[in-house]
Every structure is written in C-alpha cells, then in structure tokens.
Chains A and B, each alone.
Chain A
Amino acid sequence: MTLEIVGITVLISFLFGYVIVGSIDFGAGFFNAYSLLTGKDRILTNVIQRYLSPVWEVTNVFLVFFFVGIVGFFPSTAFYYGTVLLVPLSLSLLLLGIRGSYYAFETYGARGHKGYSFMYGAAGILLPASLSIVLTISEGGFVEMVDGQPILNYRELFMSPLTWSIVVLSIAAVLYVSAVFLTWYANEAGDREATDLLRKYALIWSLPTIITASGIIWELRAHNTEHYESLLDLWWMFALSFLLFIGTVWLLWKRKNYGLAFWLLIGQFALAFYAYGISHYPYLLYPHLTIYDGFTNTAMAAALVIAFILGFCLLIPSLFLLLRLFLFNKEYVRGRKEDEHA
C-alpha cells in the first residue's frame, strides 16, 4: 500500500466519521427546532438535549481533522479547492459559526430560548447542503483552468441537476440518519412517546434518502462517465448497502431491535460511502488533480502517518471513555439529575 493510499484512506474514514456524527448532530438540532414549532418539544427536547450536550464539540473536530489532513497530505488541494471554494465554503463557515455557537448559547446560557434554537436548527440543516457542494464540484465539469488559475463556473453549478440532487440527498440523509439514531437512543432512555415520534420521522425520511442516492448514480452516467463506470464495477458494494437499508427499514417497521437497525444503517452508509470513495480513485478533482500529482513529499507523509498513529492511540481510549460515560451509560441516558452540566 503506498503512502498516498494510506493518506486518503485515513482522510476518507474521518470524513465518514464526520458524515455520521455530523448527521446525527445536525438532524437532532433540526428536530429540536421543528418540535418547538409544532409544540411537540415536550416529547423530544429532553432526549435530544441529553445526547447532544456532551458531544457537540467533538463533531466539529472531525471536520477540522479532515480539512487540515487533506491539505497536509495533498497540499495541491489548497491551490485547487482553496481557490474555487472561497464562496461556498465561506457560506458553510457562516452556517457552522451560527450553528456551533448558538447551540452552546442555548444549551449553557439560555435553556429553551426559542430564537437560539431556531437559529441553530436552521443553520444545521443548511450546513450539510452547503458542504455537499464540495462533492459535486469534485465530479468535475464545473472548474476551468484560465491562465493557470482554477475558476469555478457558478452558472453551470447552479443549473446542474446533479448539484441539486446531491443537496437533497445530503438533507434527506441527515434527517434519516439522525432519526434512526435518536429512535434507538430514545428507546434506550425508555421514552415511549419520543421513540414513536422519531421512528415515524425515520420511516418518512428513509424513502427520499434511497431514491435520491440511486438517482445520483444515474445522473453521473451523463455527467462523468468515467466515474459512473468505476461505480458500476463496485455494484456489489451498492447492492449490499441496499440490503442493509432494507434491513433497517424492516426493523423500524416491525418496532424491533432499534440498536441493530442503527448498526445496519452505519453499514449501509459505510458501504456506499467507501464505494463512492474507491470509485473516485485516483481523482481528487476530475480531471485536474489526482492523489498522485497532488501528494506531499515522502518525509512529510511519513511524519503525518506517525503523528496520526500516535494521536490515534491517545484518541481511541478517550473517545471510548466519552461513549461509555454518556452514550452507553444507561443511568445517564435515562437522565439522573446529578448529571446536569456544570
């Protein structure tokens, strides 16, 4: 395995981590705001807040890790993506800023403040949509080289059905992942009412997720034939992913084993995500940049890999502790009073 492959595998794994924890986080914020709007906050807020509170900052680190890592391993991405993504990513940063800080303002400063809740709920749902633009751009066709500088063609980008399908998928997937997870979490907490409501949301959002995901593969046939063909070579991964999807929905429908349903969902997304990643190989940006011509020098790559391994040894036990104390701690999930924040 070459250093290029090691680098991109680490990065895509952290991106996958961000997609999952970020989805849960953003979806939860949205459901929280929605329940305030529809007067169902009595049912949902408690469960959502208990999960979100100790982990919000960790979610953000996954994203930082990804973009610092990609510029570290592939410095040329700074040149290509840095130049073309100024506007889209600045908008993402705006949303991220509002989402992160207003979440903290509401949770630690002004519990139950409706304005703050709406602000971070709305920002959170727009955030994946804006971040997903990066994936669209990576498919190529929107960036031209003029005088050696990459230029983003906004008109093309906004007129493309691919862009909008990916936006819809990102939102649907966020709500779906989040609802499935929270159904499980609410069930663990023994909260019947919340479980039922969240289960309903999960079932509602399952269909748009799978439809847009399949639609995007089909759209790629016209947009980027090369990528489409390498996607087809990995058909078995998508087939397996689809079966896992069926499994999740079936369990939810039958009100059985929500924990397993969530793990099947992780499997479904992991298969689809990695299949997407593998088929993207070797391009970071079609057709301008591959992982080979954008790679850093060997000395830096080796240093980064060593730093990653050492960092990881520190990280895994800490993450495990966090999960054990909050996520998989029945006492905490059910809500003892002593565990209120500072």
Chain B
Amino acid sequence: MANEEAVFFSRALTELTLSFHIIYATIGVGVPLMIMIAQWVGIQKNDEHYILLARRWARGFVITVAVGVVTGTAIGMQLSLLWPNFMELAGQVIALPLFMETFAFFFEAIFLGIYLYTWDRFDNQKKHLLLLVPVALGASFSAVFITIVNAFMNAPQGFDVMNGQLVNIQPVLAMFNPAMPTKVAHVVITAYMTAAFVLAAIAAFRLLKGSDHIYHKKALYLTMKLGLIFSIGALLIGDLSGKYLAAYQPEKLAAAEWHFETEGEAPLMLYGVLDGEEVKYAIKIPFALSILAHSNPSAEVTGLNEFPEDEIPPLYVHYLFDTMVTIGMFMILLSGLYWIGMKRNWTFIQSRWFRWLIVAGGPLTIIAIEAGWWYAEVGRQPWILHGLMRVPEAATTSGHVGTMLYLFAFLYLILGVGSVVVLTRMFRKNPVEREILDREAEKTAERQTKGGDEE
C-alpha cells in the first residue's frame, strides 16, 4: 500500500518544514523570556537602557513570531496532510496536548498584541511588564505541549492494543510518558539558551562594527550571563536524557555512539569514521558512555547488535549527536570564560577575536538546535510511533507530494529572505544611538510643556 515516492517526499517535506520552523520557534520561545528579564532589570535598576533593550528586542521579535506562526500552522496541517494514517491512529491517544497547545498559542497571541501596543499607556512600567508574563508563559507552554506529542512518538503509552485496535485509552497517562520530562525540559531550556546566545551575537556584532555604546555592552553582559546559566542547565538535562534513552530507547543512544556490543565500562566516542563495526580515528573518553547511560563507570550499555537490523536508525546520527554536544560544550566554555573574564578584568574578552567568537555563537547554537532535532527524529527511525507504527505505513498515498515539496521550499525561501531583509532594515534605519537621543529629546520636550516646574 505504501507508495515509496510519497513516503520519501513526505519525509523530505516534513524535514524541510521542521528545520525551517524550528529556527523561528526556538527564538519565539526563548526571546520573550529575555525581553521580560531585560525589562525587569531596567525597572529594578531604573536604567533606561535595559527598557530600550526590551523594546528593541520586542520589535524584532514580532517579525520572527510572524514567520513562526505561519510555519507552525504549516507543520500543524502537514501532520494530517502528509501523515494521515499516523494522525488517525495517534490522534486517538495524543490529541489532548495538541489541543492544549492551541490554547497556549491563543493566550500568547492575545497578550502579544496587547503588549506591543501599550508601551506608553502605563505610567507604571511594572504593569506593562505584567502583560508580557502571559506571552512568555504561552510561548513556553506551546513548546511544552508540542514536545509532549513528540515525546509520545518516542515512548507511547496510555493505551492497550487489542486486535489491532487501540483500547483502554488514558489521555493524561499518554501525556506523562517516560520521554516527556527530559525531552520537554531539554527543548525549553535550549530555546532559552539559543535566544540568549543569538541576542549576545547581535550585541557583539554591533560592538565589532564600530558602535562603542554602553547599551551594547550591557546587552552583551546580560545575555552571556543568561546563556551561561541556560547552557549549563542544558548540559545537566542532556545527561538525564542519556539516562532516559538507555532505559527506553537504547538503540537510539547506541546508534549515536556507534556502540555495537553490549558491554560495561563503555567509552564515549567523539567523531571518527566507521569501518564495518570498527570505529576509527575517534576521540575515546573512557567510561563516559556508561556514566551517561547509567551514572556508573562500569555499568553495562546495550549495543546495536541486540536489535534486528530493520529496527535500528541510520548510523550517521552519530555526527548529529556530536555536533549538538560539541557546540553545547563550546558555548558553556565561551560564556564561562566571558563571565569570569568580566569579573577578573581579563582584557582578551574585550578583544576583537573573542567578540567574533561570540558572534559565531549565534549561528552555532542554531546549528546545534537543528542537529539535535535531526538526531531526535532520524534516531527514532524506522518508527513514527516507537514499536507500533513504521514511517512508511503512516505516510499519505498521494502522488503530488513532490510538487508540494518545491512549493514549500519556495515559500520558506521568501519568508527566510523577507524576514532577514526586514530585520536588517529595521535596525539599520533606527540605530540605538539615535533612538536614545530621540527619547531624551522627547522627554525634555514633555518636561518643558508641563511648565518646567521641575527646574
């Protein structure tokens, strides 16, 4: 029944949509929290610069939100259009978090509209900040609910199978599946981390491009500090994810680590190439895989040879895993050095090459997000619903998927180019130096019209 071409193009189109959407979605989840923190710091320190920071981030944020919303709508619909059999089956058990996600999204959308248009309506900035709380909550909870669906695909539970039918369905149990805690935590915290490092990259870039304004320095320090905290959090949760995989999806962990024989004292392999079952030129970290999987250097880690050949994912996921981990580690190091350097007045962190590294950190964290999601999705192959439904059984049988792939590639091209062009134009036309001057002039004018009694 499965139509191979349709399966191939359905996978390609889903991958394309997710890869594009995840950039905007990650920013969309992380940036509201950054805006909130900046505005809060601004209120606490009574520092206009942080308020302006929040305001300018919010302005850029709207553009990314718009692309996130429309591409999110696309992936939401594509789930049914490309994977109708999957949605028909899984929908019976996991429709609840999908439905809840629309409420989170609704909530976020309403308050974002209000927040954007009420910057100057309140004399008390704190009231305005309060309006941002539902935006940040809505954004994060969207991520939570959607990730729960993805977790369910990895560790389905909350139902029994009887004669090919799903019976005894428990929607809430399905939501709280074993993959859920680590996956949700990992997705949310890496979104915060990515947002922080992307904003840090922008600040560092402005400083490199000749602006020496204290505004950018404050922005850089704030975002690097936040990035450090969130990246350490991501590391800790990543460790827990390893333990989840060892317990529930050992083949996914083993594929990432090219671990063939079940054995204790397993080393962690970084990079290298595969020759048959032999790993060459890899950096071996002794005991590390056993520790990652079971917190015990001598613990036994299940190898790929325990699984039938048609139930293990493609082995290139190793590189995806390594890319994600390497970038994560690099960002901890970079932001850690920056933070200590600021405390101890090390001059090299103010140097151009170090700032260029921070600039590179923005795109690098995005690459880490992509690699992480590719690993998550390809590592689940051949399953769409682990142990229950294979990808080819789930796909549409339509003969037009190939054409749709080109259609959407075209759409993402215009959205990607459009958003970049608009964002650059927006901030280039209104640099922060000018906006600070404008605001001061406005304030003086206001004071004078009030009668100058403050003089």
Q: Interface code B105-120, partner A: CB below 8 Å = 1, 0 otherwise?
A: 1110111111011111
Whole-angstrom distance between the alpha carbons of A78 and B91 in the complex? 9
Residue contact B82 to A86, C-beta cutoff 8 Å = yes
Task: Give residues of chain B (281-316) contacting chain A, Cβ–Cβ below 8 Å.
Answer: none
Q: Do A100 and B63 contact each other (CB < 8 Å), given the known contacts A318-B134, A342-B116?
A: no
Residue contact B87 to A303, C-beta cutoff 8 Å = no
B101 within 8 A of A: yes
Whole-angstrom distance between the alpha carbons of A307 and B99 in the complex? 8
Whole-angstrom distance between the alpha carbons of A149 and B84 in the complex? 11
Q: How far is the CB of A93 from chain B (nearest CB, A)?
A: 5
Whole-angstrom distance between the alpha carbons of A57 and B111 in the complex? 10
Residue contact A326 to B117, C-beta cutoff 8 Å = yes
Residues of chain B within 8 A of A90, CB atoms compared: 81, 404, 407-408
Residue contact A86 to B103, C-beta cutoff 8 Å = no
Number of residues on chain A facing chain B (CB within 8 A): 73
Residue contact A57 to B113, C-beta cutoff 8 Å = yes
A232 within 8 A of B: no
Whole-angstrom distance between the alpha carbons of A53 and B62 in the complex? 11
Q: How far is the CB of A5 from chain B (nearest CB, A)?
A: 18
Residue contact B96 to A98, C-beta cutoff 8 Å = no
Residue contact A86 to B109, C-beta cutoff 8 Å = no
Q: Do A339 and B118 contact each other (CB < 8 Å), given the known contacts A82-B80, A304-B96?
A: yes
Residues of chain B within 8 A of A149, CB atoms compared: 1, 397
B126 within 8 A of A: no
B69 within 8 A of A: yes
Task: Give residues of chain A (53-83) contacting chain B, Cβ–Cβ below 8 Å.
Answer: 53-58, 60-61, 63-65, 67-69, 71-73, 75-83
Q: Interface code A143-169, partner B: CB below 8 Å = 1, 0 otherwise?
A: 000011100000000000000000000
Residues of chain A within 8 A of B84, CB atoms compared: 78-80, 82-83
Residues of chain A within 8 A of B79, CB atoms compared: 78
Residue contact B87 to A315, C-beta cutoff 8 Å = no
Which of the listed residues B58, B66, B69, B87 has the most CB atoms from chain A within 10 Å of its own CB?
B66
Residue of A nearest to B91 (CB): A75
Residue of B nearest to A304 (CB): B99
Residue contact B411 to A299, C-beta cutoff 8 Å = no
Residue of B nearest to A299 (CB): B169
Q: Do A100 and B107 contact each other (CB < 8 Å), given the known contacts A54-B117, A79-B88, A90-B408?
A: no
B249 within 8 A of A: no
B70 within 8 A of A: yes
A104 within 8 A of B: yes
Q: Do A93 and B73 contact each other (CB < 8 Å), given the known contacts A108-B63, A149-B397?
A: yes
Which of the listed residues B1, B71, B82, B95 has the most CB atoms from chain A within 10 Å of its own CB?
B95
Task: Give residues of chain B (57-109) contacting chain A, Cβ–Cβ below 8 Å.
Answer: 58-59, 62-63, 65-67, 69-74, 76-85, 87-89, 91-93, 95-96, 98-103, 105-107, 109
Which of the listed residues A100, A339, A340 has the most CB atoms from chain B within 10 Å of its own CB?
A100
Whole-angstrom distance between the alpha carbons of A72 and B397 in the complex? 22
Which of the listed residues B74, B79, B109, B403 has the most CB atoms from chain A within 10 Å of its own CB?
B109
Residue contact A72 to B414, C-beta cutoff 8 Å = no
Q: How far is the CB of B80 from chain A (nearest CB, A)?
A: 4
Whole-angstrom distance between the alpha carbons of A321 and B111 in the complex? 9
The secondary structure that dominates the B interface is: helix
Residues of chain B within 8 A of A58, CB atoms compared: 106, 109-110, 113
A341 within 8 A of B: yes
Q: Interface code A98-124, partner B: CB below 8 Å = 1, 0 otherwise?
A: 111111110011100000000000000
A325 within 8 A of B: yes
Whole-angstrom distance between the alpha carbons of A97 and B416 in the complex? 11
Whole-angstrom distance between the alpha carbons of A85 and B77 in the complex? 10
Whole-angstrom distance between the alpha carbons of A318 and B67 in the complex? 23
Whole-angstrom distance between the alpha carbons of A208 and B31 in the complex? 46
Q: Which residue in B70, B116, B169, B397 is a CB contact (below 8 Å) of A300?
A: B169
Q: Enumerate 30 A-B pairs (CB-CB under 8 Å) in ascending A order.
A: A54-B114, A56-B113, A60-B69, A64-B72, A64-B76, A64-B105, A78-B80, A81-B80, A82-B83, A87-B398, A89-B81, A90-B407, A93-B74, A97-B411, A100-B66, A100-B73, A104-B67, A108-B62, A108-B422, A109-B63, A303-B172, A314-B107, A318-B111, A325-B114, A325-B118, A326-B114, A339-B117, A340-B119, A341-B119, A342-B62
Q: Which residues of B contact A (CB under 8 A)?
A: 1, 55, 58-59, 62-63, 65-67, 69-74, 76-85, 87-89, 91-93, 95-96, 98-103, 105-107, 109-114, 116-121, 134, 166, 169-172, 396-398, 400-401, 403-404, 407-408, 410-411, 414-415, 418-419, 422-423, 425-426
CB-CB nearest 3 A-B residue pairs: A104-B66, A82-B84, A109-B422
Q: Which residues of A contact B (CB under 8 A)?
A: 53-58, 60-61, 63-65, 67-69, 71-73, 75-83, 85-87, 89-91, 93-94, 96-105, 108-110, 147-149, 296-297, 299-300, 303-304, 307-308, 311, 314-315, 318-319, 321-322, 325-326, 332, 338-342
List 6 other contacts, CB 8 Å, given A78-B80, A79-B85, A149-B397. A100-B73, A105-B66, A300-B95, A318-B107, A340-B117, A342-B58
